[in-house]
Amino acid sequence: MSAGTVPVAGGGLKQAVTDGWLIAWRHLKRVSRIPELAIMMIIQSIMFVLLFAFVFGGAIPLPGGGSYREFLLPGIYAQTIVFASSITAVGMVDDVSKGLLDRFRSLPMARSAVLSGRAIFDLIYQFGILIVLMASGYAVGWAWHDGFGNLLAGIGLLLLFVFAMSWVGIWIGLSMRTVESAQQVGFTVIFPLTFISNAFVPLASLPSWLRPFAEWNPVSTLTSSIRELWGNPNPYATENFPSEHPVVMTLIWIGIMIAIFAPLGVRKYRNLSR
Amino acid sequence: MQTETLAPPERSVSTGGKPVIVAEGLVKIYRGRKTEVRALDGLDLTVNEGSVLGLLGPNGAGKTTAVRILTTLLQADAGHATVFGLDVVKDAQRLRSLIGVSGQYAAVDEHLTGRENLILFGRLYQLTKHDAAIRAVELLEQFELTEAADRPAKTYSGGMRRRLDLASALTGRPRLLVLDEPTTGLDPRSRIGMWEAIRERVRAGATLLLTTQYLEEADELADSIAVVDHGRIIARGTADQLKSQIGGERIEVIVHRRSDLDRTRALLGGEEVSVHDHLRRITIPASGGAQRLVEVVRVLGDEGIEIDDIGLRRPTLDDVFLKLTGRATENNDESGDDAGEGKQP
Ligand SMILES: Nc1ncnc2c1ncn2[C@@H]1O[C@H](COP(=O)(O)OP(=O)(O)O)[C@@H](O)[C@H]1O
Ligand SMILES: [Mg+2]
């Protein structure tokens, strides 16, 4: 037989979209089969709320006053989203080690779909988690004050951040050989990022040598952005670019992360055939 | 090393189709920080349309590497391969719609049901929703998975997972099926079930490339066998040709006292006797089959040589190797990474 008679699989944007959705569908199905993963993630975030709101909360004064819980919840939302990238990383390693990625790569599907499908899924999944957390936050006394438009803008910004973190997770996942090492990397990067930030405590309480890191930290700028958008207490320690323009700074960070990690992830994926 | 051709390369056994796979001089080197593994070292391979080629070799011989190159998953460092006339690198995407691959691990999503897996893979083979659903039902039926169709694959036994994996490779009705150690890690019953499923494909006219560590498996399934070692083909032929070359069945005696080894050897005579000192084992060709076995028992009994064990043994890959390379396969004492992986629950 001659190669000329071989039908070429659809190709193009339409196939990329369809196949991306198929992969996202696959991940969504998995969520319904292992609901405990989503539940654990929500419980973990609620634990943080309880811990900080009821245990440490009383001891953390907010410069400029305001409710600590209203201050805390945006930090929890940001932290949850940042932690999610390690779930992406672990999922990627798992797919590689179980041979599923090889199966996908042996199929005449759009090359981009494995990664884009994962990113689409992360967006949908984290959106769901966020809604549950915001409802829980509302129950313990958090609220937004600056109108529906700003609420949506805050959610939009969080989701953009999810998208960027998902590429970080994809890159980490494709770089690691075992689930444990992916978890470990996630932990060692994410832990300082979330705890040396304004997510739980006002930055004024940090030692001054640590402050610049905390101020420019993307987790801080994301948290400040949503506090600002939603009219929640948003004290700052120093007047500088990230404290005055947190939304702009966060968008810049998102741009930088995508610009660095999306190409790195794609390259790792291509290099699987090396 | 010279390729030992047991049969003329254009052999009569392979049903006379045109070549589907043509690989020439494939070289693959895995480079680590300090190490370099030459996994393929000039591998040549031809598989004709409608035939079944068994790629036989011990753990680490380069089988998986070869299969991954031929199925577009990995790029060779040197050499050239075409499948259906399509270059495995340049025309990879077109080629993918013509081949079905089942790797060394059952690569299915264990949290999806059997049906969902098949529909997902069918859709990614670019079948329509409708066609993918119909194809899934067909395949579930064929592989006796209908009852388990709507259970997560996690709950399947090893044999069922392998069957689901094979079914997944078939969703796109591929014209070439490539199976990498399809039964490694399966219990004997599942293995026979898997053989049956594969034979079914062969009857349906599929062209098949399969790798295995077992001569018996290659014998069961393949029209012809290529023996691979250190990334090269060291022999080609039918199973019968290979077996007759190594002398068919043999008798294995394990004597009770090591001091009896030399005497036993002398009694059984001939050059073809091989002695394994440590295991107190003597192996001789059993040209007369069971008759010769009875003879040996009698001779040893008359001489008062105590034996722990005696039996007829069919030739294995080890024997082929010993004959072809003058050394035993290296993966006997290791637990074998490959075999272990297949045993996941
Ligand atoms: N990704 C890899 N990196 C480094 N070495 C590898 C890799 N994959 C295989 N090898 C080595 O290449 C050789 C051939 O491996 P493989 O093709 O898996 O053999 P087989 O499938 O016959 O067991 C082995 O020595 C193996 O250790
Ligand atoms: Mg292998």
Domain membership of residue A1 (yes or no) is no
Asked if residue B64 has its Cβ within 6 Å of ligand 1, the reply is yes
pLDDT confidence of residue A122: 95
- How many structural domains compose chain A? 1
**B104 C-alpha to center of ligand 2: Å?**
6
pLDDT value at B345 more than 50: no
Domain membership of residue A90 (yes or no) is yes
Average pLDDT, chain B: 84
pLDDT value at B123 more than 70: yes
CA distance B309 to B324: 27
Question: Is it true that domain B3-244 has CATH number 3.90.1010.10?
Answer: no
**3-class state of residue B100 by DSSP:** strand
| Bigger pLDDT: B308 vs A52 | B308
Confidence at A4, pLDDT banded by 50, 70, 90: very low
For the stretch B234-268, pLDDT in tens is 989 888 887 777 667 788 889 888 888 888 888 88
Distances (CA, A) of B337 to A59, A176, B180, B332, B340: 55, 19, 14, 11, 5
List the domain boundaries for chain B. 3-244, 249-313
CB B111 within 8 A of CB A29: yes
For the stretch B176-199, pLDDT in tens is 999 999 988 888 888 888 898 888
For the CA atoms of chain A, what is the radius of gyration? 20
CA distance B55 to B229: 10
Tell which atom from ligand 1 comes closest to the C-alpha of B338.
23
Domain membership of residue A20 (yes or no) is yes
**Which residue is associated with the tokens 């073809």?**
B272
Burial of B226 (0-12, 13-18, 19+ CB in 10 A): buried
CB A76 within 8 A of CB A49: yes
Domain membership of residue A6 (yes or no) is no
Average pLDDT, chain A: 89
A interface test, pick of B124, B178, B338, B344 with most A CB neighbours within 10 Å: B124
**A17 C-alpha to center of ligand 2: Å?**
34
Q: Please indicate whether, in this complex, the C-beta atoms of B94 and A8 are within 8 angstroms of each other.
A: yes
Domain membership of residue A5 (yes or no) is no
For the stretch B2-21, pLDDT in tens is 454 444 444 334 455 789 99
CATH number for domain B249-313, candidates 3.30.70.100, 3.40.1080.10, 3.20.20.150, 3.40.718.10: 3.30.70.100
* Partner residue facing A102 (CB), from B97, B103, B110: B103
**3-class state of residue B18 by DSSP:** coil
Joined tokens for residue A128: 């769901």
Tell which atom from ligand 1 comes closest to the C-alpha of B28.
12
Domain membership of residue A3 (yes or no) is no
Domain membership of residue A36 (yes or no) is yes
Average pLDDT, integer, range B82-90: 95
Average pLDDT, integer, range A15-30: 95
pLDDT value at B156 more than 50: yes
Tell which atom from ligand 1 comes closest to the C-alpha of B67.
17
Q: Which residues contact B290 (CB under 8 A, 6 or more apart)?
A: B312
Q: Strands of B250-255's sheet, edge to edge?
A: B274-276, B281-285, B250-255, B307-313
Confidence at B226, pLDDT banded by 50, 70, 90: very high
Write down the ipTM of this complex. Answer: 0.88
CA distance B214 to B249: 16
Q: Is A17 on the interface with B (CB under 8 A)?
A: no
Confidence at A11, pLDDT banded by 50, 70, 90: low
The separation between the first and the last C-alpha atoms of chain B, rounded to the nearest angstrom, is 41
Domain membership of residue A211 (yes or no) is yes
Q: Which residues contact B105 (CB under 8 A, 6 or more apart)?
A: A98, A99, B341, B342, B344
Joined tokens for residue B313: 């043994």
Global pTM?
Answer: 0.83
Average pLDDT, integer, range B290-314: 86
CB B320 within 8 A of CB B215: yes
Find residue B285's DSSP bridge partners: B250
- The best mutation among B41, B56, B65 to test binding of ligand 1, ranked by most ligand atoms within 8 Å of the C-beta, falls on B65
Burial of A167 (0-12, 13-18, 19+ CB in 10 A): buried
